[in-house]
Amino acid sequence: NIHPSLLPKFKGLNTFERIVKNKEIKTGCTVHFVNEKLDSGEIILKKSFFLNSKEDEKSLKIKTQKLEYLAFPEALIKIYRYR
């Protein structure tokens, strides 16, 4: 699974809203295995970036999705290379 925050922060829904509201300075995405608990599986990798002072939910979503497109294939390679 891929989650739009640096887990364990901001598990669940409304992630971008909560990141902006919490005035985070750094965020990103986490690729992780799925288990029985919400967003709690073993982490495969994280990618991050710093937020600027004008960040809103829309810009945050766009930046995070760009990072997710890079993270997911990298995670697949990591799984197959090291497992």
Q: What is the mean pLDDT of each run of 10 residues along the chain (83 residues)?
A: 98 97 97 97 98 95 97 95 77
Give the span between the Cα atoms of 38 and 42, in whole angstroms: 12
Give the residue from 4, 22, 8, 13 showing the smallest Cα distance to 61. 4
**46 and 28 in contact (C-beta within 8 Å)?**
yes
Measured in residues, the chain has a length of 83
Given CA atoms 47, 68, 63, 19 in this order, what sign does their dihedral have?
negative
Give the H or E element holding residue 26.
Answer: strand 26-32
What amino acid positions are annotated as catalytic residues? 3
Say what the pTM is: 0.93
